[in-house]
């Protein structure tokens, strides 16, 4: 499947596109406020990546880099990517766009951690992710799935 993943720019068009997605919350609101208050530049890079069909954003995910001091998942401890808000708009589901985004997340060569949504376990395993051994204090009710690049192991 042909689909180009782009890092999204923070501007009013992107923020409007985001409104079509289910998982819209205070992160997007905060981006809007910062843009309006000139706290961030128009067209600055966002932590979101997406796929456009024509000029319509039909899939997105957020990739946020966390530092070594926040790494309780990987050995050796290192900066890693947390992936959230992976979502493909309803009419475009089942065509592999989600997979294209996740594969893109892996191209950075850093470990990736996500909180798998209810019923998505098979998808994450197919993506090469693994469930973790549950640690209450660390995982707090989440369903973490992680992807280990070469030479990276689970942290104990």
Binding residues for its own copies (CB under 8 A) = 22-27, 29-30, 47, 62, 64, 66, 70, 82, 84-85, 116, 118, 131-134, 136-137, 139-144
Task: Tell me how far, at minimum, the Cβ of 10 lies from its own copies, in Å.
Answer: 12
Q: Which is nearer to its own copies, 28 or 58 (CB)?
A: 28
Task: Tell me how far, at minimum, the Cβ of 115 lies from its own copies, in Å.
Answer: 9
Task: Tell me how far, at minimum, the Cβ of 118 lies from its own copies, in Å.
Answer: 6
N-to-C CA span, the chain: 38
Residue 123 CB contacts under 8 Å (≥ 6 apart), including other chains: 98, 116
- Which residue's entry shows tokens 């994450």? 124
Q: Which is nearer to its own copies, 22 or 94 (CB)?
A: 22
SS3 string, 12-26, reads HHHHHHHCCCCCCCH
Q: Which long-range contacts (CB under 8 A, 24 or more apart) does 21-25 make?
A: 21/60, 21/85, 21/87, 21/89, 22/87, 23/85, 23/87
Q: Which is nearer to its own copies, 108 or 134 (CB)?
A: 134
Distance of CA 70 to the CA centre of its chain: 17
Q: Which is nearer to its own copies, 32 or 95 (CB)?
A: 32
- Which residue's entry shows tokens 């950075």? 108
Task: Tell me how far, at minimum, the Cβ of 93 lies from its own copies, in Å.
Answer: 17
Task: Tell me how far, at minimum, the Cβ of 55 lies from its own copies, in Å.
Answer: 25
Q: CA torsion sign, 135 to 141 to 123 to 80?
A: negative
Q: Which is nearer to its own copies, 122 or 137 (CB)?
A: 137
């Amino acid at each position: 499947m042909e689909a180009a993943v782009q890092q999204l720019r923070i501007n009013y068009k992107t923020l409007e596109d985001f409104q079509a997605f289910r998982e819209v919350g205070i992160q997007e609101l905060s981006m809007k406020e910062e843009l309006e208050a000139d706290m961030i530049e128009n067209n600055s890079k966002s932590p979101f990546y997406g796929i456009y069909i024509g000029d319509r954003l039909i899939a997105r995910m957020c990739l946020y880099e966390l530092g070594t001091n926040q790494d309780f998942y990987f050995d050796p401890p290192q900066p890693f990517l947390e992936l959230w808000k992976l979502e493909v708009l309803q009419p475009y589901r089942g065509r592999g766009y989600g997979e294209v985004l996740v594969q893109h997340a892996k191209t950075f060569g850093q470990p990736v951690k996500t909180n798998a949504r209810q019923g998505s376990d098979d998808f994450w395993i197919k993506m090469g992710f693994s469930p973790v051994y549950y640690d209450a204090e660390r995982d707090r009710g989440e369903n973490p799935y992680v992807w280990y690049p070469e030479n990276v192991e689970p942290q104990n």
